[in-house]
Structure 1
Amino acid sequence: MAENNPKIYDIVIFGASGFTGKYVVREALKFLNVPNSPLHSLALAGRSPSRLSQALKWAARSDSPPKIPLLTADTSDPNSLSRVAAQAKIILNCVGPFRLYGEPVVAACADSGCDYLDICGEPEFMERMEASYHEKAVEKGSLVISACGFDSIPAEIGLLFHSKQWVGSSVPNRVEAYLSLESDKKIVGNYGTYESAVLGVANADQLAQLRKSRPRRARPDIPGPASGKGGSVMEHQKQLDLWALKLPSADSVVVRRTLATLTENPNGLPGVNESDERAKKREAFWSSIKPAHFGVKIASKSLLGLLPTVVLGLFLALLCKSAFGRWLLLKYPSVFSLGWFRKEGPTEDEVASATFKMWFVGHGYSDSSLASQGNKKPDTEVITRVSGPEIGYLTTPIVLIQSALVLLNDRDNLPKGGVFTPGIVFGPTDLQERIQENGVSFDFISKKALSP
């Protein structure tokens, strides 16, 4: 960050009065001015100081919350964003859909040397920010990292954890993640996620055009079949006893970008003022990571449990291309998702009762030499799992706040600036341990030989 520009606030939460923003504030307050926490100053930013005040009271569970500055800022007012970015070490952006509201915040951060984290799961936005702001962010010393919520840190850090289970000469070829959402009440998704999905499908051609306009990224050398196909669209995963449906996932896109950056930088990204000891630790970490083809499937214990996903996918395909169709989808989310999404969001009880499990099933070879022997089938299976509380309002704030604390605590050992994915920046840090200490578990499940 720019040394000649003193920062008043360690973290500013932008969009703090929104559905997710309130939960991010609640999580941040746990680490404000407590022993061993690098978070000493916090501010909230948004369009309405009165709504920010209400959100702070809700998050603090008190009518007399801690005295935290409330900053007025709006994505339609670039000057207000610049003022906030000039005062912050890190801005946590919770205002989506990011394709509509994200770029002004990234621009303000990149220009001021302020670090930026968000909870975006929109590939087109993330890749456009990389294309538009990477060089400015490098120049100004601003780290811009999207996908620091449930999309996509459990997938990224989970895959790195999985990769480290392939020890010695064993290598993975493909890892399939099966995401299972569970609750003893109704599962209700984040409306912002739904809105982003509608707009993403409607503008899919923009992402295709963006990728065509950019240089091709390096591809990792993955032992075994080059296609890395993940099987059928629908499957019954017998070992996990789950029905699964293949998803066009932001997680898999973010993982591919991380692996491309790693291929271009085999030792990872050096820190701006990194010690020799930390450089060796970083290089050792990345030398233990073995890339694999990666995909994500939504999973359920029953075939009927996948019905809302199937129905929503059909409606998105049918209605997203017309303005009237998009209006219908956004006006009546509960109808088109069979109640999975609703504008008012979940109740606190529904949030508290929900959990997730993300199973990583990897197939590969007990020895890398086997992978080059023609059409030799994988002979080894490794299963790991990431699990935790409700994804949108509990796990997302946990991983976002822990990512920010890593930035505050370890900034000298991280890249000076640029637009990157979470995995390539946070992989060698203690982020996994921090997340685990705060309720998201990483577990080795099994390793076995596969019959020929």
Structure 2
Amino acid sequence: MTDTREFDLTVFGATGFVGRLVAEYLLDAAPPDARIALAGRSAAKLALVKEGLGPRAADWTLVVADVGDPTALACLAARTRAVVTTVGPYLRYGMPLVRACAEAGTHYADLTGEPLFVREAADRWHDTAVATGAKIVNSCGYDSIPSDLSVYRLYRRTVEDDTGELTDVTLVASFKGGVSGGTVDSARAMMEAVAEDGSKSQVLADPYALSVDRDREPEARGLSDQAFGRASGIDPSLDGWVGTFVMAGHNTRIVRRSNGLLGWAYGKNFRYREVMSVGSSPLAPVAAAATTAGIVAGIGALALLSRAKLGRRVLDRVLPAPGTGPSEKSRRTGWFTMKTVAHTSSGAKYLATFAAEGDPGYQATAVMLGETGLALAFDELPEIAGVLTPAAAAGEALTERLRAAGMTIAVERA
């Protein structure tokens, strides 16, 4: 992209909770001469956000644009090298910006955890983005950068060691943090979409729904995201018990899409799943079983209530509202650790660790989205374009950026 754009990076949704966190992060993380814009639908709210950021944001520009105004979005996309967006649920509000960026050749990053959105974005705008050179990068927060980059780093290590292709790979997630209102609202948006069009349930049921070529994938047998058992059953080095990880359904599909986008570099028989650690206390087996059962029941209840107007009203009353979040103290005391055990076709075994301080859905996610935007705006990246994953778009650059930001990303041979 030639350097004729007015801005290097635009934060779209800057008046929302996570959008403000991203803007705050960029105050220190962006180069001093970076040309930053804050975008949203309310000029008054954008002005308040800029004022709250202090004098270091004095030169940042405010851009008014609404997802319902295609002309404004096209103008926004044409003015900037890259956009990061926190405006979700993306199924409801995200596609117009994807279109604008794909058509303008503008790089884009979001926080979606919605497979239905990624599938639709790829079907509608991948070819356009390829033609213009735009990198449309989905899932650049806790959904799904730790998963995606962990497997990418494992792949790079096997290439360095010449130990063959990845075969069976399992990620075990541990974390402390809350569930955001935006995450819950995204789940609701998907359930409502399925209620309106039952065929969309096939996307949610298919482990390879986001693949670039479904016919080239291995059989889905044994890839269930539901889990309950001892962690030592995954690898003797792991302690405690594991249960179902609520984010596995999206993360695993993103990782499998990366494999396809990279030419099936991970392996033709690459098999991947994710589970969640529930600790090793005497009550851990109960917690593992309850977690798995609770997730299944919760998804079922959400799907049922999302079908009717009365049910949606009930959900409005009991679920956290989008655009809300925890206190600064709570955000800073959160953490996450992802341990990924990988086996290769030669019999080698590896352990990847991806860990960071800060609430994963807020503090750490703001860092990940912010650094993705900076990589898209400033770094020399692979020439690949289209609707992409973090690993395919910027695997090496993003790894180094997140390490420099204080996150642990490491691979060791077990």
Give the TM-score, by structure 1 length.
0.77
How far off its partner does 1:123 sit? 0.8
Q: Distance in 2 between matches of 1:259 and 1:17?
A: 35
How far does residue 53 in structure 1 lie from its aligned partner after superposition? 2.5
Separation in 2, partners of 1:193, 1:98: 11
**Residue 128 (structure 1) aligned to one of 101, 108, 120:** 120
CA RMSD of aligned residues (A): 3.0
CA positional deviation for 1:180: 0.8
Structure 2: which 5+ runs fail to align? none
* Residue 181 (structure 1) aligned with residue 161 (structure 2): no
Aligned mate of 1:84, from 76, 79, 85:
76
Q: 2:183 corresponds to which letter in structure 1?
A: T
Distance, in Å, in 2 between the alignment partners of 1:78 and 1:343 is 23
Q: Does 1:148 align with 2:151?
A: no
- State yes or no: 1:433 paired with 2:411: no
Q: Is the 8 A contact 1:174 1:294 kept in 2?
A: yes
Per mean C-alpha deviation after superposition, the further-off stretch among 309-318 and 116-125 is 309-318
Deviation at 1:28, TM superposition (A): 1.3
Give the whole-Å Cα distance in 2 for the aligned partners of 1:443 and 1:437: 13
Partner of residue 234, structure 1:
228
- 1:139 equivalent in alignment to 2:139: no
Alpha-carbon distance change, 243 to 50 in structure 1, aligned in 2, over 3 angstroms: farther
Aligned positions of 1:35-434 closer than 5 A: 40-58=34-52, 60=53, 62=54, 65-166=57-158, 167-182=161-176, 187-204=177-194, 205-208=198-201, 216-217=213-214, 219=216, 227=221, 229=223, 233-238=227-232, 239-247=237-245, 248-263=248-263, 289-290=266-267, 292-301=270-279, 302-303=284-285, 307=290, 310-321=293-304, 322-323=307-308, 324-333=310-319, 344-365=324-345, 367=346, 381-389=349-357, 390-411=359-380, 413-415=381-383, 417-427=385-395, 429-434=396-401
Cα distance, 1:430 vs. partner? 2.3
Are residues 300 and 52 of structure 1, via their aligned partners in 2, closer, same or farther at CA, if it must alter by over 3 Å? farther
Deviation of 1:296 (Å): 1.3
Are 1:181 and 1:357, in contact at CA under 8 Å, matched by a contact in 2?
A: yes
Structure with the bigger percentage of helix: 2
5+ long unaligned stretches in structure 1: 267-288, 335-340, 368-378, 448-452
* SS of equivalent to 2:123: helix
Distance 1:49 1:290 in 2: 49
User: What is the CA-CA distance between 1:419 and the residue it aligns to?
Assistant: 1.6
C-alpha deviation, 1:203, in angstroms: 3.4
The change in CA–CA distance for 1:229 and 1:15 in structure 2 (over 3 A counts) is closer
Q: Aligned pair in 2 of structure 1 residues 236, 209: CA closer, same or farther (>3 Å)?
A: closer
Which structure is larger by alpha-carbon Rg, 1 or 2? 1
Q: Which amino acid aligns with 1:331?
A: R
Q: What CA distance in whole angstroms lies between the structure 1 residues aligned with 2:298 and 2:187?
A: 12
CA separation of 1:97 and 1:107: change in aligned 2, threshold 3 A: same
Q: Counterpart amino acid of 1:432? A: T
1:235 alignment partner AA: G
Paired residues of 2:85 and 2:111 also in contact (CA < 8 A)? yes
Question: Compared with structure 1, are the counterparts of its residues 309 and 8 closer, same or farther at alpha carbon in structure 2 (3 Å cutoff)?
Answer: farther
Scaled by the length of structure 2, what TM-score is found? Answer: 0.84
Contact 1:57 1:64 in 2 (8 A): no
Contact 1:188 1:342 in 2 (8 A): no
Q: 2:29 aligns with which of 28, 31, 35?
A: 31
One-letter amino acid of the structure 2 residue matched with residue 11 of structure 1? L
1:249, distance to aligned residue in structure 2 (A): 2.0
The aligned residue for residue 273 of structure 1 is none
Residue 343 and residue 408 in structure 1: after superposition, are their counterparts in 2 closer, same or farther (change >3 A)?
Answer: closer
CA distance in 1, matches of 2:315, 2:376: 38
CA contact (8 A) 1:174 1:228 kept: no
Summarize deviations over 1:125-180 as a string: whole Å, max 9, x none.
01111110112222223221111222111111111112344433354321111111
Q: 1:311 Cα deviation (Å)?
A: 3.0
Deviation, 1:444, is 3.2
The CA distance in 1 between the partners of 2:210 and 2:349, in whole Å, is 38
2:342 and 2:371 map into 1 onto residues whose CA distance is 27
Q: CA 1:65–1:10 in 2, change beyond 3 Å: closer, same or farther?
A: closer
Secondary structure class of the residue paired with 1:30: helix
One-letter code aligned to 1:162: L
Bigger mean CA offset, 165-174 vs 15-24: 165-174
* Number of aligned residues: 389
For the 8 Å contact 1:32–1:41, the answer to whether it is kept is no
Identical positions, percent = 25
Deviations 1:302-339 (A, max 9, x none): 356555674354132024232233332342126xxxxx
- 1:228 is displaced (CA, Å) by 5.2
